[in-house]
Amino acid sequence: MRTNGRRTGVVHYLGRVVAFLVLSLVLAELVLRFVLPASSVPSWYQDGTWRIFHFDPSQAGQTGMTTYGRYCVKEGVWHINNAGWNSAFDYSKRTGSSRLRVAILGDSSIEGLATDYRKHIDVDLFGDLGGQAEVYSFGMAGWYLAQYIPLATYVLDNYQPDVYFVCVGTGDIAQSLRDRGSSTPNGYQIEPKGGSFVVVPPQEIYVKSIKRELASKSALVRYLLYNAQVALPGERVVGQSDAAPAGAEESAASSAAAADPELRAAADFMVARLSSDHPNAKIVFVGDTSDRSVYDGTPEAKPVDSALLVRSAAVRHANCSFLDLGPWFARDWALHHQRFQAADGGHWNAHANQVVASAMKQYLLDTHLASLTP
């Protein structure tokens, strides 16, 4: 009798533990959905034709919220358009329209998960130009200069822009080299061959795992993945950014990169390739600068390492030019003393997006690529 009573007690105890755990999980799901909303991230997709990453086009019209850190600080609301990009605008084929069409290419700052999609650079530039130009944006976290070679071709074949703004950030040249960057089987890179370089396509097409697909349905798992940065078993941590905040050490790194002959040759190759692939378009390389140098009031804050190399290469091609964001950020900081980072510290915020859009607008007006008419 005692044995049966002891077993019954154990069963009841285990039942209470299971019930407690279930209730705790339900409570956690509710809290992380409605009180401290866990970050939601749209599903990535890599098509088999272009092998270009974007978001799943089947999500068109869907929105979600990106939050940052353990306390779920709101960063921005994302919106997936008809073509699988985080944008307020839907994209369409060109049908003979003479209106200026602009394409913005870049990494996570252009992807824009850290800011509300209604306050992205494309929206600001569209408004700054009085709606007289179409502005399409193509960005994905972790991208670098080599990725923009096939991406620009994809954009050309689908949307035929007149102007490309290609955003260049820290490490974009080194990351492009297969033997020096963080090589991935799903990304484009370049490698030396015959005294020059060749573009190496992805070796595999990304397929979202069933485990991650199921995990995305749970607010608790999303919180662990994106807010607490805890990896799923057997998978790497998926952060909201592959970009690191700019720091004071960039000055020395930039000088070293500019003096590296392989990096210089790689930059020359990629700029020349973009130029030759798009002879009828204007390609404007947009050089980021160190936030720290702007805040410190460093005179003539220089572009980051890769942007310096790209600037030197761009002057050799008639359809290429360089837009330095340093003076724009420095001027705005002197006037407003309003910082440019989103909540995570590593991306442009909505104010920075306005500054970048203003710089792009002024470039288009100064070069007579765009005009403001009543």
**What pLDDT does 256 receive?**
57
Residue 97 lies in a domain: yes
| Whole-number average pLDDT of the chain | 87
Q: Give the residue-averaged pLDDT of 43-70.
A: 92
**Cβ–Cβ under 8 Å, residues 170 and 176:** no
Question: Global pTM?
Answer: 0.89
Task: State both tokens at 131.
Answer: 């709606």
Residue 79 lies in a domain: no
Question: Which has the closest alpha carbon to 189: 149, 153, 130?
Answer: 149
Q: Assess whether pLDDT exceeds 80 at residue 7.
A: no
Tens digit of each residue's pLDDT (9 = 90 or more) over 316-325: 999 999 999 9
Name the band, by pLDDT with cuts 50, 70 and 90, for residue 302.
Answer: confident
Q: Give the residue-averaged pLDDT of 93-102.
A: 88
Domain holding 314: CATH number? Answer: 3.40.50.1110
Higher pLDDT, residue 158 or 26:
158
Residue 308 lies in a domain: yes
The boundaries of the domain holding residue 180 are: 85-206+236-366
Q: Assess whether pLDDT exceeds 50 at residue 11.
A: yes
84, 125, 134, 187, 354 from 137: Cα distances, Å: 11, 11, 10, 19, 15
Tens digit of each residue's pLDDT (9 = 90 or more) over 195-243: 999 999 998 888 877 767 767 789 998 898 889 988 766 554 444 433 3
Task: State both tokens at 18.
Answer: 């299971």
Task: State both tokens at 355.
Answer: 């500054």
Residue 28 lies in a domain: no
Residue 348 lies in a domain: yes
Residue 50 lies in a domain: no
The SS3 of residue 144 is: coil
**What pLDDT does 114 receive?**
93
**What pLDDT does 48 receive?**
86
How many domains, in total, are found in the chain? 1
Name the band, by pLDDT with cuts 50, 70 and 90, for residue 166.
Answer: very high
Residue 143 lies in a domain: yes
Q: Assess whether pLDDT exceeds 70 at residue 9.
A: yes
**What pLDDT does 238 receive?**
45
